[in-house]
Amino acid sequence: MSEHAENSNQGSVSHEHTLYAEPIFHVGAFTVTNSILNSWIVVFLILVLSLFIRRKVRIVPKGIQNVFEMVIEKFLGIFDLVTQSRSRSLKFFPLVFSFFIFILFSNWMGILPGVGSIGQIAYAHGEKVFVPYFRGGTADLNTTLALAIIGVVASHIFGIIALGAWRYFNKFINIRAFLEIPKKIRKDPMIIFVNPIKAFVGLIEIIGEIAKVASLSFRLFGNVFAGEVLLASMSAILAFGVPLPFIFLEVIVGMIQALIFSVLILAYLTMNTSAEEH
């Protein structure tokens, strides 16, 4: 999917939007890609912002603290709609809101001027290619896959803590359903048909957990990557004026995608910490 080719005395230089992140440099055997570099900058910015906000926190809020407290209260209201419990919302808030902030900053960093257009010339398969120094972290499937795995694994850890290891294990491999058959078959003969179905449903749940990781990672990656390709295409048509509405659109899409990802993680946390009958 070639974006443009620039002719020079040394030959043509191709610039392509690749599905994979390009390597920038190596630290020993570790390859630092442009998406990792961008993600490090995002983490650094979040850290600096957090320290700044921490220094400004007062018992009686004023100024920017009022704004952040209003944002947090709005988010807790959204979380309450999912968890149906303020105590649960407060418990899950630090993890889920961290997902939101990191993804939001990563999405917005991907549309900043210079991201995708400042880079170096490299050789690939005997051809000169332009490799940008920065690429939106969430425009790399590795990043979105890692975020999805962290979120889903965290939901299972919270589930084990809330329900107990044995009870939670039986949500997926329902050994308890088979152990109940000899005990209850005289009172309820239908249990011989019902409980094996329960056990089978548990196996489907395992497939569902894998599907959660796939859907979370591909949804976020697909939307962000498509947005960057769209902006690059509009900029190639006309660099001034035309891309502005699409940049504004990507700002909104970046926020929506961060919210969707975070709320889905919250939903998984809520479901996995609820008893089976709920």
Dump pLDDT digits (tens) for 184-237.
Answer: 777 777 777 676 777 777 778 888 889 999 999 999 999 998 888 887 777 767
Say what the pTM is: 0.82
The confidence score (pLDDT) of residue 20 equals 75
Domain spans in the chain, listed from the N-terminal domain onward: 2-272
Binned at pLDDT 50, 70 and 90, residue 2 comes out as very low
Query: What CA–CA distance (Å, rounded) separates 103 from 147?
Result: 9
Is beta strand 119-124 parallel, antiparallel or unpaired with respect to 30-33? unpaired
Average pLDDT value for residue range 111-139: 74
The confidence score (pLDDT) of residue 137 equals 87
User: When comparing pLDDT for 231 and 163, which is higher?
Assistant: 163
**Furthest C-alpha separation in the chain:** 89
Average pLDDT value for residue range 107-129: 73
Is-contact 39 52, C-beta < 8 A? no
pLDDT beyond 80 at 178: no
Average pLDDT value for residue range 168-174: 80
Dump pLDDT digits (tens) for 37-79.
Answer: 889 999 999 999 888 888 878 887 777 788 888 989 999 999 9
The average confidence (pLDDT) of the chain is: 82
Binned at pLDDT 50, 70 and 90, residue 152 comes out as very high
Q: Which two tokens stand for residue 212?
A: 């959660």
Instruction: Give the Cα-Cα-Cα angle 102, 106, 111 (nearest 5 degrees).
Output: 155
The confidence score (pLDDT) of residue 67 equals 83
Comparing C-alpha atoms, which of 204, 219, 93 is closest to residue 145?
A: 219
The confidence score (pLDDT) of residue 112 equals 79
Report the share of the chain in percent with pLDDT over 90.
35
